[in-house]
Structure 1
């Protein structure tokens, strides 16, 4: 299965004292790069969740948000922690005396302060199994979205590979004929330019030039690289880096094809090949 590095999933779980929520989203990255935003009371779960994700993911910048919303507790009337509120007031007074220009805490900041509604008495360590179960559910949805996107990208790349094969297949049989016609024109021009030069010398010059514009080797390598692209796509897995390397090789052959071209047909084919290679490369940047 080929996966995109772009994905999103969010899962919630209602508990007796509130609601757990875990959100996963990812974008492209050269490596596997985690960014965790975890509620302070759940900080101990960061490493287990990280290990769970790393076992399934290979590349991408992964952002994981884990939170516990105590305000969503079942039917409980919210009660402000008076002791904590008084402590914040006293601390705020001391800060104002020392730093008169410091901005005071807003009502919103006070209400969102950890423990303001009494959840400080909750045993968050006991939430470990619930957090891991929630993380597994989110990871399943997350990998499914990446897999669906990866399947679309794989189909697009396969279409471009088939189109490139069609270009090579159409132009290859015509190359000997058009190159022969070009070489005959070149031979005649050399004869006219050299005047009394022997025909053997002209043929020698034409033969040297014919070697320089021979593109059979480039076409063969193009087909070989396209075979490898198809093989990697069928094998699946984390293949983004390998495919990106192959795009470099395909582009190198297309550039050589263009530089050696002495006829319009080959030049046009090289331009179309480079366009499709660039289209594939842009999409491959999204693959894991």
Structure 2
């Protein structure tokens, strides 16, 4: 079992990779890549889709300069500028013209002394592919670690559902006595009112049958076993677990509607609380 939530980052010479994901209904891939070799984006998409089935996944790459950046000093142009300034000062001095002393800032401001540096070539595609393989492996390992922790949480919640189901079963004798007394009292009221219609008595018997929750408890047991099997299964199981939580809710709602006993209603409400927590956690399972 893996979580849809994961994070990984990788630093290499002049490169910073980041990959993160959160839960989503399907697989949504978002890329932030600089102008790179044409084969990089397809490689990223293939690597992610071959690793994950669901999740909102973002992959980003930032390049930083590894050599000198910005303008580069042109030594020949600088020498010419210095010679020109020295010649100008000599001519001015010979003619008796006062000039302000030359400064380094003045020399460096002469046009042509600085020139644009050459842009660095992007890393080779094979280098980027190797980066990507390491990044995706680390991200997938992080999802697996989170999934293992999530599995423990889900397992405990399913165990709690099983415990509450057993508590409902243990109430069966007390509930049967309560329902029997309720129907005896109803029959007595009918007799007191001199209503002895067989049809009415048949309806009362039918209500007694409808109040039975054995089928709901049996189906809960089946869903509990199925959920435990999914926790031990390989591959994406989030959608199937989500379906089972809906089935848990359906059976619990029916039990509550048929309850007729305050203790059983309390168990049903507690079941709903646990199932809600289970459903919330299941949303993070791939």
Regarding TM over 0.5, the answer is yes
Per the alignment, residue 185 of structure 1 pairs with 182
Per the alignment, residue 158 of structure 1 pairs with 155
Per the alignment, residue 127 of structure 2 pairs with 130
Q: Conserved in 2, the CA contact under 8 Å of 1:45 and 1:131? A: yes
Q: Conserved in 2, the CA contact under 8 Å of 1:187 and 1:206? A: no
Q: Conserved in 1, the CA contact under 8 Å of 2:3 and 2:143? A: yes
- Structure 1: 5+ residue runs without aligned partners? 83-115
TM-score normalised per structure 2: 0.79
* Counterparts in 2 of 1:79 and 1:205: CA distance versus 1, 3 Å: closer
Q: Conserved in 1, the CA contact under 8 Å of 2:171 and 2:264? A: no
DSSP 3-state at the match of 1:119 = coil
Alignment partner of 1:143 is 2:134: no
**Mapping for residues 55-94 of structure 1, pairs under 5 Å:** 55-70=50-65, 73=66, 76-80=67-71
Per the alignment, residue 49 of structure 1 pairs with 44
The 2-side partners of 1:20 and 1:262 are apart by 67
Per the alignment, residue 101 of structure 2 pairs with none
Task: Please list the CA deviations of residues 38-57 of structure 1 after superposition, one character each: whole Å capped at 9, or x if unmatched.
Answer: 01235541111211121111
- How far does residue 79 in structure 1 lie from its aligned partner after superposition? 3.6
The 2-side partners of 1:190 and 1:80 are apart by 101
The 1-side partners of 2:238 and 2:5 are apart by 13
TM-score normalised per structure 1: 0.78
Alignment partner of 1:6 is 2:5: yes
DSSP 3-state at the match of 2:36 = helix
CA RMSD of aligned residues (A): 2.1
* Counterparts in 2 of 1:181 and 1:38: CA distance versus 1, 3 Å: same
- How far does residue 118 in structure 1 lie from its aligned partner after superposition? 2.6
Which structure is larger by alpha-carbon Rg, 1 or 2?
2
Alignment partner of 1:27 is 2:22: yes
- How far does residue 265 in structure 1 lie from its aligned partner after superposition? 2.1
Q: Conserved in 2, the CA contact under 8 Å of 1:187 and 1:203? A: no
